[in-house]
Amino acid sequence: MSIFVDAETRVVYQGLTGSQGRYYGLLNRDYGTRVVAGTNPRKAGTDVDGIPVFATVAEAVAETGATASCVFIPAAGVHGAVIEAAEGGVEFIVAITEGVPAHDEAHFYNRLRRDYPHVRLLGPNCPGIISPGQCNIGITAGHIALPGGPVGIVSRSGTLTYQALYELREKGIGCTTCVGIGGDPVPGTSFIDCLEAFEADPDTKAVMMIGEIGGSAEEEAAEFIATRMTKPISAYVAGVTAPPGKKMGHAGAIVSGGKGTAAAKMDALRAAGVRVGLNPTEAGELMADIVAGL
């Protein structure tokens, strides 16, 4: 099995007619993802390499049965695109765009929770999600992901999402689903959301988790792991060598008052029983050991 998306997921690309939306929309379709529509109110009635373009998400859902959307809209328009997708009837929204104002993120995050609790948002500022061999929504290179499980991956870092997939591929280990949750201050989907889903998925036997400095998401995940997870986990936390007092990387990578450091996160995860690597390759090796013992 997989979490959140599978071979039946039908995707509408908001921004399919733009250069990046077109590139990744067609790439994901070629991977096997059911990319069924795009939206652009100025180009409704046209198509992108055979994929029909509609004026709104609601029209795309009505005509194609789309169940998910992928947002390739400039940052200033992401707020409207996310709300339009929820109002239009999709159940899963992947927002790839970087640089979305934190105020906008907080507003649409809370609007979804209040008015559309059945809708899951992934991102913004994330690489997306891939259930290898079934569905790829976003910018992850499909060829680095082996299907067939038994490992689920959840990562705050975009680039290290790909690294985690690559490390497992090099060891011949498949993945059920790999989720890049993004590193912004208000992520639509959290570590805990993914860990809970992986815990409930019978085909996911172990989880690889990639964190980074800033915020408290990893410490919160460690508490969840200690009390709720039965499946083994390996992890890596980026930012061990980050200089004190400096803001590094993502908007969420803010360290303050001694909290949010890589060392503190690693200690919390180890205390919860997680096997923590000092680099991505070591985290992959730890997962290989876990898989060998399953």
pLDDT higher than threshold 80 for residue 102: yes
Q: Which of 79, 118, 143, 250 is catalytic?
A: 250
Q: Determine the pLDDT at residue 224.
A: 98
**Angle, alpha carbons 240-253-111 (nearest 5°):** 145
Please state, for a pLDDT cut of 90, what percent of the chain lies above it: 87
The lowest-confidence range among 6-20, 101-115, 220-234, 258-272 is 258-272
**Which CATH number is 154's domain given?**
3.40.50.261
CB 138 within 8 A of CB 180: yes
Say yes or no: 33 and 152 in one domain: no
Which band of pLDDT confidence, cut at 50, 70 and 90, is reported for residue 239?
confident
Q: What percent of the chain has pLDDT over 70?
A: 94
Greater model confidence, 156 or 245: 156
- Identify whether residues 115 and 180 lie together within a single domain: no
Quote the domain boundaries for residue 62: 10-122
What's the average model confidence in pLDDT over 13-32? Answer: 98
129 in a structural domain: no
**pLDDT, greater one: 244 or 125:** 125
Which has more pLDDT, 247 or 93?
93
Q: Are residues 111 and 156 in the same domain?
A: no
| Together in a domain, 71 and 187 | no
pLDDT bracket for residue 242 (50, 70, 90): low
**Catalytic residue status for 118:** no
**What are the Cα distances from residue 12, in Å, to 29, 88, 136?**
11, 11, 13
Residue 110 lies in a domain: yes
Interval 208-230 mean pLDDT: 95
Read off the pLDDT of residues 253-272 as tens digits, 9 standing for 90 and up. Answer: 555 555 578 889 999 999 99
Kindly report the three-state secondary structure assignment for every residue of 107-118.
HHHHHHHHHCCC
Q: Name residue 286's amino acid.
A: L
Q: What is the pLDDT of residue 213?
A: 86
Average pLDDT, the chain: 94
CATH code of the domain containing 91:
3.40.50.720
pTM score, whole prediction: 0.94
Predicted pLDDT of residue 215: 84
